[in-house]
Amino acid sequence: MTVLLKSGLLWTGSNEIEGGWLLARDGFIVEIGSGRPPRADEIVDEPNCVAMPGLVNAHDHMYQWATRGYAPDGTLFEWLAALYPVWARIDADIVRIAARAAMARLLLAGCTLSTDHHYVFPHGRPGIFEALVETAGEHGLRFHPCRGSMSLGQSKGGLPPDSVVEDEDVILAHTEAVVSRFHDAKAGSMCRVVVAPCSPFSVTPQLMRDSAALARRHGLRLHTHLAETLDEERFCIEKFGRRPYELMEDLEWTGDDVWYAHGIHLSDAEVERVAGAKTCIAHCPSSNMRLGAGICRVEDLVRAGARVGLGVDGSASNEDANLAMEAHQALLLARARHANPNALDARTALRLATSGGAECLGRDDCGALEVGRCADVACFRVDDLAHAGIKDLVAGLALAPPARAQTVVVDGRVVVRGGRLLTADEDEIAREIGSTSARLAG
């Protein structure tokens, strides 16, 4: 099965090709060119679009689509305290409906590969992880679900209430089970499982160590929240006598198989050490601004050689899932932080949203349009009212981020066409998530 995608401008991540096209066979890019294209079984022609690598979402909590708009002015810890009791009531049906909404929104905004950090597993509610994996399969999204976890409840000095934490043996056994059932390590994989204790204030150091050992036994990647707020820094210093990143070093949670969400409150020396360890950072600008968490030192990290991707974070602290908007926010925020318009240029911001995210997720077969890589492509209209006439069309996608994609291809399969999802009914999902959110709110 071959698919030919033609566009007004093809941006590969490093080159721009006027009237460019790419040919995909069995999910992989086999040819890129311009001028007369080869024959194909299916042809998608988008002369009014810029085609670019599909966007990669390096941090998310999709179940949160059912709890948007809570604690609208709270700090991270206040927001969490308001939400933990609501999250304690989720089950597989709610997670499935929330994930349907989150994944639909991601795909419609040009995302082709996403992680999901799921760490709330209320006792006696089976099937949550399965619901996430099945929904990604139905929508046609390339997916890296994290088996997240919380084990340090309030009675042991942690932040979450005891009702939402799990026994550590249960966490590790369930992680092994979902790895053997769902993880696919092959090139072109549509599903890889990640091991992801939630944060230093919600799991024990022992669970962090055991999780790292489990992941390294199976060749899996590791993910957690780190250095998101000054409250977290104070918590770590008081409880463990360590700054958050020092704690990660003690626990062997550094290296090229690890990526952290946020990485905001890092010292100069820690920025250098993160870069030296080849650990990746998923920058989530909208969420960080929404919670007043601080500003990630993206420019410093990039200059130090660190690998940085972008994430939408959970929609309870973003209220959307638009990666192009995150590239826009990252660009503006870096320039504001440094009072310098050269702090982050548009193409670098778009690379954070594509190849940077792919590095976070350990995917050297995604994140750029090159022969041999996965055929994951997003096409954005540049003839609409928002973009028509913009002088530099690629820069325009970060300066004036598109609301939605025109065509999206994942694994060589067209999943969005004409700005509409082909794999699910957007209006039905909106109705479902509306009633589900209301029911969960009580």
Query: CB 372 → Zn ion: shortest distance, Å?
Result: 32
Burial of residue 66, with CB atoms counted within 10 A of its CB: 0-12 exposed, 13-18 middle, 19 or more buried: buried
Residue placing its CB nearer to Zn ion in the complex, 29 or 248: 248
Q: How far is the CB of 346 from Zn ion (least distance, A)?
A: 26
Shortest reach from residue 282's CB to Zn ion, in Å:
9
Q: How far is the CB of 155 from Zn ion (least distance, A)?
A: 24
**Interaction residues for Zn ion, span 260-299 (CB under 5 A):** 261
The interface with Zn ion within residues 294-313 (CB under 5 A) comprises 313
Report in angstroms how near the CB of residue 188 gets to Zn ion at its nearest: 28
Which residue's CB comes closest to Zn ion? 313
Q: How far is CA 231 from the centre of its chain?
A: 24
Q: How far is the CB of 112 from Zn ion (least distance, A)?
A: 21
Q: Which is nearer to Zn ion, 317 or 348 (CB)?
A: 317
Binding mask 15-34 for Zn ion (x = CB under 5 A): --------------------
C-alpha distances out from residue 377 to 41, 84, 89, 323, 404, Å: 17, 37, 37, 14, 14
Residues 177-236 that bind Zn ion (CB under 5 A): none
Q: Please, which residue, 313 or 326, has the CB nearer to Zn ion? A: 313
CB 349 within 8 A of CB 331: yes
To Zn ion, the closest distance from the beta carbon of 228 in angstroms equals 8
Q: Name which of 49 and 261 has its Cβ closer to Zn ion.
A: 261
Q: Which is nearer to Zn ion, 57 or 406 (by Cβ)?
A: 57
Q: What's the min distance (Å) between Cβ of 273 and Zn ion?
A: 22
Residue closer to Zn ion by CB (options 20, 357) is 357
Nearest Cα residue to 377 out of 345, 416, 349, 347: 416
Interaction mask 308-337, Zn ion, x per CB under 5 A:
-----x------------------------
| Nearest CB to Zn ion, comparing residues 194 and 343 | 194
- Shortest gap between Cβ of 412 and Zn ion (angstroms)? 31
Stretch that binds Zn ion, among 103-111, 257-265, 319-327, 353-361 (CB under 5 A): 257-265
State the Cα–Cα distance between residues 174 and 320, nearest whole angstrom. 30
Pick the closer one to Zn ion by CB: 283 or 387: 283
What's the closest the beta carbon of residue 314 comes to Zn ion, in angstroms? 5
Query: Of 299 and 313, which has the nearer Cβ to Zn ion?
Result: 313
Closer CB to Zn ion, 50 or 56, in the complex: 56
Q: Total residues contacting Zn ion (rule CB under 5 A)?
A: 2
**For Zn ion, which is the closer residue by CB, 261 or 274?**
261
CB of 339 to Zn ion, least distance (A): 28
- Kindly indicate which of the ranges 45-53, 175-183, 258-266, 365-373 contains the residues binding Zn ion, using the contact rule CB under 5 A: 258-266
Q: What does residue 5 show for φ and ψ, rounded to 5 degrees? A: -115, 120
> What does the binding site for Zn ion look like in residue numbers (CB under 5 A)?
261, 313
